Structure 1
Amino acid sequence: AACGGTAAVWTPRRCTSSAAASKVVKTLASEIKHEEEQYEQAKEIRKFLSNTEFKLVEKDGDVNVMLERECGDKVARIEWQLASPFDPDADADGEEGGYTQEATDFCITVESKTSGAGASFYCSTQTGEDHRYVIGNVKTFTTAEERESATAYNGPEFEDIDEKLQEAFDEYLAEVGMNNEVCDFIDAVALDKEQREYIHWLKLSKAFLES
């Protein structure tokens, strides 16, 4: 049997509120102004780009960043993503602001222009003056499809292979162009990219709510 009484009818409010949207737009405009006034590109970025054979490849709205250069019959690519500068654990240690420089994961791929075969070195930056990055794995592939395969063997742990082979790989990457300056650039761009994407997001949000 049906329940007695009259069911209340819920009437939704208008989908958008001009007053609410205007408030958000005003707040976004203030945040954009603040961020643009505070933003300054790190000097390491400008210095590196003015004196390198690598070409920086990126686009607005994409978290990925890449350095690319030609090495004879091969192409070398260094790829990484933006990184948040906020450390949620920093306040617990009494640090003000909560901003820190974390290690940045990146991948160096050297690939033949003709065959598509190559090797990918999965790495992370680290603090220190002697060697600014560590290698986790070295993956080799014979085709682009194999390179992108999620089930392909990613190679052994780098620290488990023979020390002479480790040294040889280090020397090989140095010839490709990997050095401490590149690591400084990777870390700097990871944070810079995040700041620029945040400003880009603020502007897109403001434009949408104003439309």
Structure 2
Amino acid sequence: MFSIRSLTRSVPRTLSRSLTTSAFRPLQRSALFQPTWKLMPRSTYAPFSTSGPRFEAAGQVDVELAAKFQEELALETESGETEELPESLKYYLENGPFEIVDKAGEEEVVLTRKFGDEKIRISFTIADLQNINPEEDFADNALQDEMDMDPSRSTKGDPAAGNPEDTMDDQPLEPGYLARVDVTIEKPGKGAMHVDAVARDGLIQIENVSYFKNPELANAETPDKEWQRQSLYAGPPFGNLDEDLQALIERYLDERGVDTALASFVPDYIDFKEQKEYVRWLGSLKNFVGNN
């Protein structure tokens, strides 16, 4: 953000000296009635031009930048699969219980469904791709390469590694990322349950379960609603609950479609949508920068 610069005017030193000197001698009538601007030396004024500002027809880099956008756009669309939904995602949407709301140009994706008298809303965002830590992924890949080069470092037979028959070759390290999943279950006249969870490696991991008497606070969409929400008790961390209670809440959500199928769908759809939005972003900027 640009800082605001204040403009100041300074009185020329010659004018200051002339005024100071005049204070100690009688004022001349001709000087007393002179306009202030006439007392200032001409050298302090910059020449004033009535000609308009100079405008360039186009920037020097416009054509080159537009061509670079076009080059990146061609690379991203050469497969022709940018807009086509992958079969796995298509199968889930056609056979699953949810309707999808995916608006072009927006980061958030929403899934909705009815379950009895309940309204269920699930949301996730492509912004979670920014949470990937490249250093962690690099470390995982480096460790995998090291294990491939040195088979003696296998975990086979190591009780601390779990199943003694498992090896690093059998279970290669694959980088993953946490995709946040917000679940809201609303009942008429009973408020709403809100679940903070993450989808990773085909599993839904619950972090927190909250209750809101006012269902509008479950998905706070204004600063005022967000402030009201923050002032309410959100419940303990899910992991601190009794294990039987945890298991029953997981089954409760599983019956409503918050299950392993959803956990696999969310990261895959985030990958698909992020690529689609990136291609749209490239095309929009190419058209903006270009002259045609």
Which range, TM-score by smaller chain?
A: 0.7 to 0.9
Displacement after TM superposition at 1:90 (Å): 5.4
1:84 to 120, 125, 129: 129
1:118 to 183, 188, 192: 192
Number of the residue aligned with 1:159 = 239
Q: Verify: 1:25 aligned to 2:66, yes or no.
A: yes
> Quick check: 2:180–2:199 contact (8 Å CA) kept in 1?
yes
Displacement after TM superposition at 1:91 (Å): 7.3
Bigger relative contact order (CA 8 A; separation at least 6) = 1
One-letter amino acid matched to 2:76:
E
When you count helix as a share of all residues, which structure comes out higher? Answer: 2
Residues 16/102 of structure 1: CA separation in 2 closer, same or farther (3 Å cut):
farther
Residues 55/145 of structure 1: CA separation in 2 closer, same or farther (3 Å cut):
closer
Number of the residue aligned with 2:76 = 35
Provide the rounded CA distance (Å) in 1 between the counterparts of 2:76 and 2:65.
Answer: 16
Unmatched runs of 5 consecutive residues or more in structure 2 = 1-10, 14-42, 47-52, 143-173, 221-228
One-letter amino acid matched to 1:123:
A
Number of the residue aligned with 1:169 = 249
One-letter amino acid matched to 1:84:
L
Q: Verify: 1:105 aligned to 2:180, yes or no.
A: yes
TM-score when normalising by structure 2: 0.61
2:217 to 135, 146, 152: 146
One-letter amino acid matched to 1:137:
N
> Quick check: 2:186–2:215 contact (8 Å CA) kept in 1?
no
CA RMSD, Structure 1 to Structure 2 (Å): 3.1
> Quick check: 1:123–1:135 contact (8 Å CA) kept in 2?
yes
Displacement after TM superposition at 1:152 (Å): 2.3
1:50 to 94, 105, 114: 94
Unmatched runs of 5 consecutive residues or more in structure 1 = none
> Quick check: 2:197–2:208 contact (8 Å CA) kept in 1?
yes
Displacement after TM superposition at 1:17 (Å): 3.3
Provide the rounded CA distance (Å) in 2 between the counterparts of 1:15 and 1:44.
Answer: 51
Provide the rounded CA distance (Å) in 1 between the counterparts of 2:137 and 2:96.
Answer: 38
Provide the rounded CA distance (Å) in 2 between the counterparts of 1:13 and 1:88.
Answer: 47
TM-score when normalising by structure 1: 0.82
Provide the rounded CA distance (Å) in 2 between the counterparts of 1:42 and 1:80.
Answer: 19
Total equivalences in the alignment: 203
> Quick check: 1:25–1:210 contact (8 Å CA) kept in 2?
yes
Q: Verify: 1:178 aligned to 2:254, yes or no.
A: no
Displacement after TM superposition at 1:102 (Å): 0.8
Deviation sequence 1:13-43 (CA, Å, 0-9, x none): 8577343111111111111111112555543
Residues 208/158 of structure 1: CA separation in 2 closer, same or farther (3 Å cut):
same
Displacement after TM superposition at 1:2 (Å): 5.0
Residues 135/94 of structure 1: CA separation in 2 closer, same or farther (3 Å cut):
closer
Displacement after TM superposition at 1:144 (Å): 2.8
Displacement after TM superposition at 1:123 (Å): 0.4
Residues 206/100 of structure 1: CA separation in 2 closer, same or farther (3 Å cut):
farther
Structure number with bigger Rg: 2
Identity of aligned residues (%): 26
Provide the rounded CA distance (Å) in 1 between the counterparts of 2:242 and 2:56.
Answer: 64
Number of the residue aligned with 1:61 = 105
